[in-house]
Amino acid sequence: MPMLQALLKERFHLVAHRESEERSIFALVIDKGGVKLRPYGDNVNVPAYAGATLFAARHLPDLCERLGRDTGRPVVDKTGLDGDYQIELSYVPFGSTSADPSDPASDIFSAVRDQLGLRLEPQRGAVNVLKIDSVDKTPTKN
Question: Distance between CA atoms of 35 and 38, rounded to whole angstroms?
Answer: 9
Please give the pLDDT value at position 26. Answer: 97
- Looking at the domain assignment, is residue 9 inside a domain? no
Q: What is the pTM of this model?
A: 0.75
- Looking at the domain assignment, is residue 117 inside a domain? yes
Total number of domains constituting the chain: 1
Please give the pLDDT value at position 83. Answer: 87
Q: How far is CA 66 from CA 53, 59, 88, 113, in A?
A: 11, 11, 12, 16
pLDDT tens, N- to C-terminus, the chain (142 residues) = 678 888 889 999 999 999 999 999 999 999 999 999 988 876 666 666 666 777 888 899 999 999 999 999 999 999 999 888 988 888 887 666 555 555 556 789 999 999 999 999 999 999 998 899 999 988 888 7
Please give the pLDDT value at position 118. Answer: 97
- Looking at the domain assignment, is residue 99 inside a domain? yes
- Looking at the domain assignment, is residue 37 inside a domain? yes
Please give the pLDDT value at position 139. Answer: 84
Please give the pLDDT value at position 27. Answer: 97
- Looking at the domain assignment, is residue 72 inside a domain? yes
Find the domain containing 114 and state its range. 22-126
Per-residue model confidence as pLDDT tens digits over 51-62: 677 788 889 999
